[in-house]
Amino acid sequence: MGAIRRFFARLGPGFLLAAAAIGASHLVMSPQAGALYGPALLWLVLASHVLKYPAFECGPRYAAATGESLLAGYARIPGPRGWALWITLGGTVLQGIGVLAGVTIISGAVLRVHTGALSVAAWSLIVLGLVVALLVVGRYRWMDRLNKGMMLFLAATTLVAFVAAAPPPEDYAALVVPRLPAGSIALVAAMLGWMPTGIDVSIWHSMWTLEKLDLLRIPAGSSGARERLRTALLDMRLGYGLSLVTGTMFLLIGATYLAGRGTELRGADFALVLAGVYERSLGRWMYHAFLATASFAMFSTAYTVMDGFSRAFEGSLAQLRRLRAERDGATCAERAAGCGPAYWAFLAVSALIAAACITVFPQPVAMVTFVATGTLVITPAIYGFNVWCVTHRIADPALRPPRPVVWLGWAGVAFMAGVAALAVVATVH
C-alpha cells in the first residue's frame, strides 16, 4: 500500500492533462459523434491522440530536460525577436476567454441537471466564482490532489457502463478505417481541435511539470535529469492513455445507447441524456454517481483551463521582458510558477468576460464546438514550436525524443495545418 501511495504521489501533471481532456471533448463531442454517426468517427479519437502525441510529450520532456518551460524555448526560436511568443500570447488571449466560458457552461449544465435547481447560467457563474476562489487559496497542490481521484472514478464508471453493453466487434474496425459521413465536417474539425484537448495545454503541462518536480525534490545533475524525465513521461503517458480510452468508450457509448438522438446532445440537457445511459446500464444509483463525477470532471477542467491560460499569459510576458532585458544588456530570471501580477490580472479579466459570455450565450454544446474549431487555427504553429524546442534546445541527445517521434511530430504539424485550412473553408462556406 505504501508503494502504491508513493507511486501516485509522483503523478500529477499527467492527470491535469487528462482533466483538461476528459471534459468538453469527451463528455460532449464524443457521445454526440456516436449518436449522430454511429462508430464511423471512431478513427478520429485514435488519430487525434496519435498525431498529437509528440506535441503533448514535448511539454514534460522539455521541462524535465532543461528545467524551464516551453515558453523559454519559444523565446529562442530563430527569426524576429519574440515572434513565437507574440503568436502564443495572442492565441492565449483570444482562446482563453472563449474556452473558459465554454467549459464553464458545460459544468453549469451538468450541475443544473444534477440538482434541478437554478439555471445553467447561474450554476456556471457559481463555478467561475469557486474556481477563482480555489486558485487564490490552493493553486497547484489542490489541483494535483483533486484531479487524480475524480479522473480515475470517471474512467472506472465509464468502463463499467461500456462493458455492460459492449458494441459488436465490427464496430472497432472504425478505429483504423477513416470515413467522413455526410454533414460531419464541422464536428470532425471540432474534435480534431479539442481531442484530446488543445495543443496549448502542452505549454501549461511544462509549467505544471516544473512545479511538480520541485515538490518531488529530485536532485539536479545528469542522473537527476534522467530521473525527472522518466517520472514526467510516465505521468504524461498515463494521463494521455486515460484520455484515449475514455474518449473511445464515450463515442461507442453514444453509438450503442444514443443512436438517432444526436440532436438531444446539442442543448443544455445533454447531461440528462448521458446520465440516463448510465442509469439504464447500472441502475438508479449510477444516475447520481455519474452526474456527481461529471460535475467534478467539468469543474476540474474549468480549474485547469483558468490556471493554464493565466500561466501562459504571465509566462509569455515574462519571456518577452527577458528578451527586452537581454537586448538592453540586463538579466531577467524566468518565474517558473507563473504567479505574478499578470497571472492574477488575466485570471480576473478572463473570468469577468467569460461571465458576460455565459449570460448572453447559454448554449453549451454550440459554444464548445465553435471554440474548438477556432482552436485549430493556432494548433499547427504551437505544435511546430514544440517540436523545434525539443530537437534544438535540449543539450543532452539522450534526453531528446527518438527520431520516429520527431517524424511523427512534423507529420502531425502538416496534418493539423491541413485540417485547420479545411475547417476555415467549411466555416466560410
Query: Among 42-46, 100-104, 288-292, 372-376, where is mean pLDDT lowest?
Result: 372-376
* Strand ranges for 139-209 from DSSP E: none
Burial of 266 per CB tally in 10 Å (0-12, 13-18, 19+): middle
Q: What is the pLDDT of residue 140?
A: 56
Q: Which residues of 362-387 are buried (b: 16+ CB within 10 A; e: fewer)?
A: bbbbebbbbbbbbbbbbbbbbbbbbb
Q: What is the pLDDT of residue 411?
A: 93
pLDDT digits (tens, 9 = 90+) for 343-370: 888 888 888 888 887 777 655 455 555 6
Per DSSP, 12 falls in state: -
The band of 385, judged by pLDDT with boundaries at 50, 70 and 90, is very high
Q: What is the pLDDT of residue 7?
A: 46
Q: What is the pLDDT of residue 71?
A: 94
What pTM was estimated for this model as a whole? 0.83
- Cell numbers for 419: 485540417
**Model confidence at 54: pLDDT above 60:** yes
Domain boundaries, the chain: 2-428
The band of 335, judged by pLDDT with boundaries at 50, 70 and 90, is very low
pLDDT digits (tens, 9 = 90+) for 222-250: 566 788 788 888 888 888 888 888 888 88
CATH code that applies to domain 2-428: 1.20.1740.10
**Model confidence at 337: pLDDT above 50:** no
| Grid-cell match 536532485, residue found | 219
Give dist(CA 170, CA 265) in Å, integer. 25
Give dist(CA 113, CA 110) in Å, integer. 5
Q: What is the pLDDT of residue 74?
A: 95
Give dist(CA 257, CA 346) in Å, integer. 41
* Strand ranges for 141-221 from DSSP E: none
pLDDT averaged over the chain? 78
Q: What is the pLDDT of residue 56?
A: 93
Task: Give Cα 106 to chain centroid, integer Å.
Answer: 15
**Model confidence at 81: pLDDT above 60:** yes
**Model confidence at 27: pLDDT above 60:** yes
pLDDT digits (tens, 9 = 90+) for 249-281: 888 888 887 776 655 555 556 667 777 776 776
DSSP string, 135-149: HHHTHHHHHHHHHHH
Give dist(CA 237, CA 220) in Å, integer. 23
